[in-house]
């Protein structure tokens, strides 16, 4: 039986919100067994501050995942942090912020992986719970789809297709074992298109976006001076997003996820569909989130061929 894990101690960072452009300070703190992931807004009254990181608390999915509580208090752009917590096997954590958005840092999950590793992890007295998929669940919107199927592993597949030759058609697979999250997708950055920036900013989005925290594509070119971190960084980031979005299930999902041109909205619809069908899932106890099968370099190479 695998034990739940939390941080050994608190750790802090400061950055800007991708969409708000506002400076925000964030502290990750240890939490008691069975707490799950909880966000606390330090800038609002304590009786209104708590927001649980759960699929049914999602209130907006425009270019990021936003959760909110009954008091109208929200926290946005949580997906990269959620992915890092899931990827490193953190079951319980309190995330305290003095603003309405998780700092974007460099646009990937790598800074959060670094913070979690610096804080360290400790096993707890409670047994880990995961959500085991019992039958296929699929949601679709035109040519976009997201699906969960029964599997003995925690695994993710993704296909994307963009008109820009800088991206084009990409596909990838991630099996969450043996440190694969950190090695294979954690450094993949969020991305956007230069021609969409003005419209996004008019909508109150991407005000903190820059070449320092996003891959920017103009036509068929990547504008970032250093280029890409991975040849297929775009699909890897989409997998990263899905890892974070699906961790809103209230536990890791034991099954195979496959997305085709999916995003935050469809990922959340998939969780709604899963939990609406009592025959599609069950709680399973004791599964390892980060250990298990070894994933070697050859398997990683083939996954992104």
Q: What is the pLDDT of residues 47-78, one digit of tens each?
A: 999 999 999 999 999 889 999 999 999 999 99
Closest of 184, 164, 45, 50 to residue 113, by C-alpha:
184
Taking each helix axis as running N to C, give the angle between helix 110-119 and helix 79-87, from 0 to 180 degrees, rounded to the nearest 10.
Answer: 50
| Residue intervals in the chain for CATH 3.30.1700.10 | 130-303
Which residues of 61-153 form beta strands (DSSP E)? 66-68, 74-75, 93-97, 121-127, 129-133, 137-141, 144-149
* Nearest partner of 113 among 232, 11, 254, 25, judged by Cα: 11
Looking at 237, 256, 258, 264, which residue is catalytic?
A: 264
CATH 3.30.230.20 in the chain: give the residue spans.
3-128
Q: What is the mean pLDDT of the chain?
A: 93
% of the chain exceeding 70 in pLDDT: 94
User: pLDDT: is 19 or 220 the higher one?
Assistant: 220
| Alpha-helical segments (H) within the chain | 79-87, 110-119, 180-184, 197-202, 233-246, 264-276, 297-303
Give residues with Cβ within 8 angstroms of 112, minimum separation 6. 80, 81, 83, 84, 85, 105
DSSP 103: B
Q: Band the pLDDT of 303: cuts 50, 70, 90.
A: low
pLDDT of residue 46: 96
Count Cβ atoms within 10 A of the Cβ of residue 72 and give its class: 0-12 exposed, 13-18 middle, 19 or more buried: exposed
pLDDT digits (tens, 9 = 90+) for 119-155: 999 999 999 999 999 999 999 999 999 999 999 999 9
Whether the pLDDT of residue 255 is over 60: the answer is yes
Position of tokens 């670094």? Answer: 114
Tell the CATH topology of 3-128.
Ribosomal Protein S5; domain 2 (3.30.230)
Give the burial string for 235-261 (b: 16+ CB within 10 Å, else e).
Answer: bbbbbbbbbbbbbbbbbbbbbbbbbbb
Task: Give dist(CA 64, CA 79) in Å, integer.
Answer: 7
The percent of residues above 90 in pLDDT, for the chain, comes to 85
- Residue that has been written with the tokens 């700092």 in this structure: 103
Confidence of residue 290 (pLDDT cuts 50, 70, 90): low
Is 169 a catalytic site residue? no
Mean local confidence (pLDDT), 217-231: 96
Tokens encoding 78 = 């949580």
CATH code reported for the domain at 130-303: 3.30.1700.10
Give the residues across from 283 on adjacent strands: 131
Tokens, residue 141: 């919107």
Burial of 164 (0-12, 13-18, 19+ CB in 10 A): middle
């Amino acid at each position: 039986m695998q034990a739940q894990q939390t941080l050994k101690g608190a750790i802090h960072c400061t950055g800007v919100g991708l969409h708000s452009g506002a400076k925000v300070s964030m502290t990750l703190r240890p939490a008691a067994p069975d707490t799950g992931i909880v966000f606390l807004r330090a800038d609002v009254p304590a009786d209104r501050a708590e927001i649980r990181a759960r699929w049914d608390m999602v209130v907006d999915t425009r270019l990021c995942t936003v959760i909110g509580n009954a008091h109208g208090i929200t926290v946005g752009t949580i997906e990269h942090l959620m992915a890092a917590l899931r990827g490193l096997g953190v079951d319980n954590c309190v995330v305290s912020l003095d603003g309405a958005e998780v700092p974007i840092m460099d646009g990937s999950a790598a800074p959060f992986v670094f913070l979690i590793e610096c804080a360290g992890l400790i096993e707890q007295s409670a047994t880990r719970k995961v959500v085991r998929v019992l039958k296929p669940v699929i949601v679709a919107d035109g040519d976009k789809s997201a699906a969960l199927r029964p599997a003995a592993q925690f695994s993710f597949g993704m296909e994307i297709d963009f008109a820009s030759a800088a991206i084009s058609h990409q596909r990838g697979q991630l099996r969450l074992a043996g440190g694969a999250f950190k090695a294979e997708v954690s450094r993949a950055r969020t991305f956007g298109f230069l021609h969409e920036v003005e419209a996004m900013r008019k909508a109150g989005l991407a005000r903190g976006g820059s070449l320092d925290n996003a891959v920017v594509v103009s036509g068929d070119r990547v504008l970032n001076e250093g280029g890409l971190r991975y040849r297929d960084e775009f699909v890897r980031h989409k997998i990263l997003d899905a890892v974070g979005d699906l961790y809103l299930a209230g536990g890791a999902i034991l099954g195979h996820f496959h997305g085709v041109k999916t995003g935050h909205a469809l990922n959340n619809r998939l969780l709604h569909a899963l939990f609406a069908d009592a025959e599609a899932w069950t709680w399973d106890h004791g599964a390892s989130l980060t250990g298990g099968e070894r994933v070697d370099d050859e398997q990683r190479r083939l996954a992104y061929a």
